[in-house]
Structure 1
Amino acid sequence: MERFSIIVGQFLLGLYFLLPGIQKFTAQEKLLAYMQMHDIGFASQGLLFAGVVSVIGGVLLMTGRYVKLVAYGFVLYILLVNFMLHDFWTMSEDRVAHEMQNFVKNLGIMAGLLVVAGYAKPRWPSLQGWWRSDKSLGSAS
């Protein structure tokens, strides 16, 4: 049952990044405006990078590949997003509650990623066996 919980949680975390990753391509104008409102430099390049990373990382989490590496990468991503885009302490009173909610929600997602990373086997990126799930590799590679 524990393994099932981890697999389902890992899949849902991957889905959490995959769907917004796709949205970064389908709703670019809205997201760029939001980033520009926060004075994010190179917003269009950053949005493209975030979209690609979110889609690829989401799929990797969902399929159990490079889980530890992807989870830690998404932890860093969430920290950046929280402090650059959900900086509720700098906002007008009418936006504080919404942005604080996003900030705290992201901390919960980050906690889930850290738990998943804690259970995942270490695996360094390699072209050899890249298509195989971490579980199918047996010992850490």
Structure 2
Amino acid sequence: MSTNTSTNNSFAGSGAAAGASGTILLGRILLSVIFLLSGFGKLTAIAGTAGYFGSLGLPLPMVTAIVVGLIELLGGLAILVGFQTRIVGWVMAIFTVATALVAHTGWADQMQMINFMKNLGIAGGFLVLASSGPGAYSIDAKRG
């Protein structure tokens, strides 16, 4: 009677199978794209971003715009390459929920409700990534 040991490699957190790691990589790419583009856009149009943040009543709009832009750009990049994935996953999940609560609570507007729910879904993806780890195709896997 033979035993099947191939299932030992299917746990995404340690030595994931190629198929699972490929899927996790695709998920990381899809999660990172919106943050890379948004962070880059905020930082390259910082005055407009600060003006928008000021209109929301956020404190120190220019500083807030820089911090938010950097979180999005650097967090998106870290998720993309799989660097400190579990920690960054938690940070980005919290950031994304906070963003929903700050910018998308005008629920009488259907688009604001959709954006709020979208942010919650993205946060859920980050939490799954924080829990599962980055997979084999990542800087974290190469370092550990």
- Shorter-chain TM-score: what band? 0.7 to 0.9
Partner letter of residue 59 of structure 1?
L
Q: Could you tell me how far 1:41 is from its partner in structure 2?
A: 1.1
Per the normalisation by structure 1, the TM-score is 0.79
Are 1:56 and 2:69 counterparts? no
Are 1:100 and 2:126 counterparts? no
Name the structure 2 match of 1:83: 101
User: 2 CA distance for matches of 1:79 and 1:108?
Assistant: 9
**What is the number of equivalent residue pairs in this alignment?**
123
Contact 1:35 1:85 in 2 (8 A): no
CA RMSD of aligned residues (A): 1.7
Per the normalisation by structure 2, the TM-score is 0.78
Give a deviation string over 1:77-135, Cα, whole Å, max 9, x none.
Answer: 1121111111214xxx5xx11211110111111111111111117xxxxxxxxxx8111
Q: Could you tell me how far 1:60 is from its partner in structure 2?
A: 1.0
Which structure has more relative contact order (CA 8 Å, sep 6+)? It is 2
Q: Could you tell me how far 1:29 is from its partner in structure 2?
A: 3.6
Q: Could you tell me which runs of 5 or more consecutive residues in structure 1 were left unpaired when the two chains were aligned.
A: 122-131
Partner letter of residue 62 of structure 1?
L
Flag as ranges the 4+ runs of structure 1 deviating above 3 A: none
Q: Could you tell me how far 1:58 is from its partner in structure 2?
A: 1.1
Name the structure 1 match of 2:91: 73
User: 2 CA distance for matches of 1:31 and 1:100?
Assistant: 22
